[in-house]
Structure 1
Amino acid sequence: MAAAVVPAASSVLLAQAAATGAQPGASAVQTSVGTVQSVSAGTLSLNSDKGGSVSYTLPANVRVLQLAPGSTDLKTAQPASVTDIAEGDRALVSGRAGDNGTATALRVVLMKSGAIAQNNASRQQDWQRRGSGGIVEAVDPAAHTLTVTSGTHKETITTTPSTVFRRYAPGSVKFEEASLSKIDDIHPGDQVRVRGDKSSDGSTIAADEIVSGAFRNVAGLITRVDSGANTVTLNDLATKKPVTIAITGESDLRSLPAEMAARFAARARGGAAGQGGTDAAAGSAGARQGAGGVSAAANSGEGAPGGAARGAGGSGGPAGVAGRPAGGRSGDLSQVITRLPKATLADLKTGEAVMVVASGASGPAGNLTAITLLSGVEPLLAASPQGGANSFSISPWSLGGGEGGGEGAGPQ
């Protein structure tokens, strides 16, 4: 999914650059953003982000500017030439349509693919180092702040005019379809991922970038795996109702190793990592009791497992952050999930407990599509008295490797 992220972020940046620079010519100018498909014999072809191929004639005197990844100000662009344009580069082309249906390029704003890749790696690391997230509790557009909760932790997110906002398209699992947005587009119950500088006490974050979306989180035991239809059906531990979730090529399936699950569960209970064996056993039993409608708390005195979240419209998903990974390094489950082993639909078994972040409105079964699915989670679901919703997040974000994004790496 990492490669797919590049068009979204660079499209946003190129669009911002276009907005800040004077467009050549008058109202007849057409603009296209996409990936360079070919450039030869005075012709440039783009794979447009809007779909299809767009071709421009490149006159010898066409203005070419090279913009560094991450920059949105054309004043920082450096002069370049047609010979600098190569297949795979990102480009914003402004041109004038001709009578024969073709267009002549007036200006090409270029982002080199190699520079984008290098910038991606750097910003992925930055998302990992300075990333946070959670469920939106309140939005104050006048004060330019968000209040976000992650388990029992609450953070105030401060924004400025330079903060970049992106939002997942409704029903989409693709980050490349996330579009430029604003703070007014974020609502209580949404999930957000934030990249920025944290205060010393961790109570506030000055946001450089915020990615938001309305998602549904579901946790439960698998009752059916349909390889023909590419779906998984589970009994939602929160609603005690069956939910069918589609698995697509964009869905990110991961498997949580038993030892790591035990450690997260132990920490969520306030225990030590050494309790892993007990927690793993309790988790497995607890999840199964929960799926049958039996409270683990009533039977064992431990917290009853519940859904990983409630979805949109009364079931807004959580981005709970409870747990610290082994080794004493602070973090959350969502920050390690992209380093977990990959799984496939064929790896999933009936009776197995999973946590899923899905797109799609809450309602009848079958209208959800998995963004992230995590198996091996029985200990986690049993560890939270309120159900996994308030303790753990598997994060819907697709940041392209390592919880973070950047010029091409946005939320994973």
Structure 2
Amino acid sequence: MPSLRTYPIHRSLLGIMLAVSCGTPYLIGQAPSTPATGAPVTNPTRFVGTVTAASAGVLSIKTDAGTERKVTVPDGIKIQRIAPGEKDLSKAAVIQFSDLATGDRVLVKIAPEPTTDPVTAISIIAIPQADLAQKQQQEQADWQRRGVGGLVKSVDPGTGIVVITSGAGATQKTTTLHISPATILRRYAPDSVSFDKAKTAPIEVIHVGDQLRARGTKNADGTDVAAEEIVSGSFRNISGTIIAVNQGAMTLSLKDLATKQTVTVHVGPDAQMRKLPEMMAKRLANITKPGEGASTAGKAGAAGSPAGGGQGTQQSPQGAQPGATQASGENGRSARAGGGDMQQMLNRAPAIHLADLQKGDAVMLVSTEGTGDVTAITLLAGVEPLLEAPASTQNMLLSNWSMSSGGAESAQ
């Protein structure tokens, strides 16, 4: 599956403290983390993790706390397999040790003795890696099909209504989300748009300006959504020019065009970095100009729509969406209302690394919150034509991209 930076994935729960498939230790009572192999074991009864090796009656498991465990599996203990999302253990199938494989998610109950690894398993509940992959692909497709995202324009905890905006310039779109008691609400960690790090949080933590992603049942034009699941977060959008690049420290110094202050940006291995080709940057700049896209869209609707009988409109890579106006650009490409094609353009831009950046390059990035020292989450280079756009347009462009490629709708 794509990384969890790419799509919010609705995590499976087993109930009765069994979060075998979800990779979220807070769902199983926050069992204490354990030391390395050979050190005293502080976990009293059980832990959750992923199988890294299985041979000769011994499992190697990387726990959700990040430690490596060795587990002896005696003959005759109960090993069960369940489907992702299944909460009823009465539906579990009994399997053999030989059925366990690398990548499987497991909940291991251990004996109180010995107190050092290898510990002895009393029982094991597993979800096969292949079943997880299939489930996550289904979830990914559902987020793409029924998902919406953008910046929070307003939030009313009393009525459960959140309004978000997406797109930029003439393609900007407003969507109203309706939150019910059944809606699953999660909040991104401050330093990541990775869904597996998001935790449950009430609607009161959602603020104006937050980035938000939701999925649910849409009305005909997609402007009204009965939300089933929402994930939101507060991040900083920065546009500026690189002053210096330090590859050894994995940082770059940036002059923030908005504040005129120097910002140190840490670029970790999880940062998503792309560079816009010059023509793509110019096209995006034209799309985001106020009024520019609307004018072009009107001409395209007259000349290229089925009603007009025209032949000049080229369909977008994803096909025409119901109610979406298409606009023919100078390269014969289309710009869908709502910013869909802008997201696809950004996702298709070539990936780069810190070594590809140099002093004087203009960049736009989504980072952790901070003033003089931040960590990059997503970074876009080759943006010189876009820096003439209003700050609000730049922010919208970044938020659409980071929430779609960094948190849905990418993987085209």
| TM norm structure 2 | 0.71
Residues 280-295 of structure 1 aligned to structure 2 (within 5 Å): none
Which residue does the alignment assign to 1:320?
none
Q: Is the 8 A contact 2:271 2:377 kept in 1?
A: yes
Alignment correspondent of 1:362: 370
Contact 1:339–1:402 (CA under 8 A) maintained in structure 2:
no
* Partner Cα distance (1:131, 1:100) in 2: 47
Cα 1:268–1:225 change in 2 (3 A) is: same
Q: 1:109 aligns with which of 125, 131, 144?
A: 125
Counterpart residue number, 2:148 = 132
Q: CA deviation at 1:77?
A: 4.7
Q: CA deviation at 1:265?
A: 2.0
The aligned residue for residue 334 of structure 2 is 327
Query: Could you tell me how far 1:349 is from its partner in structure 2?
Result: 2.9
Q: C-alpha distance in 2, partners of 1:80/1:340?
A: 47
Give the stretch that moved more between structures: 388-397 or 341-350: 388-397
Q: Which amino acid aligns with 2:370?
A: S
Q: CA deviation at 1:101?
A: 4.8
Q: Give the 3-state SS of the residue equivalent to 1:121 in structure 2.
A: helix
Q: Distance in 1 between matches of 2:280 and 2:294?
A: 9
Corresponding position: 1:31 with 2:46: yes
Report which structure shows greater RCO (CA 8 Å, sep ≥6).
1
CA distance in 2, matches of 1:224, 1:20: 45
Q: How does 1:170-319 map to 2 (within 5 A)?
A: 170-172=190-192, 174-269=194-289, 270-271=291-292
Q: Please, which runs of 5 or more residues in structure 2 have no aligned partner?
A: 21-27, 29-42, 297-325
Deviation sequence 1:365-408 (CA, Å, 0-9, x none): 2x211110011222223233755224553543486896369xxx
SS at match of 1:129: helix
Report how many residues are paired. 348
The 8 Å contact of residues 263 and 273 in structure 1, kept in 2 or not, is answered as: no
Aligned letter for 2:211? Q
**Partners of 1:161 and 1:64 in 2: CA distance:** 36
Q: Which residue of 2 aligns with 1:312?
A: none
1:378 to 375, 380, 384: 384
Deviation at 1:107, TM superposition (A): 4.0
Does structure 1 retain, via aligned residues, the 8 Å contact 2:79–2:124?
A: yes
User: Do the aligned residues in 1 keep the contact of 2:46 with 2:110 (CA within 8 Å)?
Assistant: yes
Q: What 5-or-longer segments of structure 1 have no aligned partner?
A: 276-322, 406-412
Query: How many Å apart are 1:355 and its aligned residue?
Result: 0.8
Residues 50, 247 of structure 1: CA spacing in aligned structure 2 closer, same or farther, 3 A cutoff? Answer: same
Say which of 55, 61, 64 aligns to 1:49: 64
- Cα offset for 1:342? 0.4
Change in CA separation of 1:143 and 1:78 when aligned onto 2, cut-off 3 Å = farther
Helix, strand or coil for the counterpart of 1:381? Answer: helix
Change (3 A) 1:147 1:125: same
Report which stretch shifted further, 201-210 or 44-53. Answer: 201-210
Question: Secondary structure of 1:119's partner?
Answer: helix
Aligned to 2:350: 341
Query: For 1:399 and 1:390, how far apart are their aligned partners in 2?
Result: 14
Match of 1:294 in 2: none
Shift of 1:243: 1.5
1:286 is matched with which residue? none
Q: CA deviation at 1:356?
A: 0.2
CA 1:224/1:14 → structure 2, altered by over 3 Å: closer, same or farther?
same
Partner SS for 2:334: helix
Q: SS where residue 396 of structure 1 aligns?
A: helix
Q: Is the 8 A contact 2:347 2:410 kept in 1?
A: no
**2:172 matches 1:165:** no
Structure 2: distance between partners of 1:74 and 1:106: 20
Which residue of structure 2 aligns with residue 40 of structure 1?
Answer: 55
How high is the TM-score relative to the length of structure 1? 0.71
Once the 2 structures are TM-superposed, how far is the Cα of residue 20 of structure 1 from its aligned partner? Answer: 9.1
How has the CA–CA distance of structure 1 residues 15 and 212 changed in structure 2, closer, same or farther, with 3 Å as cutoff? farther
Quote how far apart the aligned CAs of 1:217 are. Answer: 0.8
Q: Percent identity?
A: 38
Match of 1:13 in 2: 12
Question: Aligned partners of 2:46, 2:236: CA distance in 1, in Å?
Answer: 36
Aligned-partner Cα distance in 2 for 1:109–1:189:
42
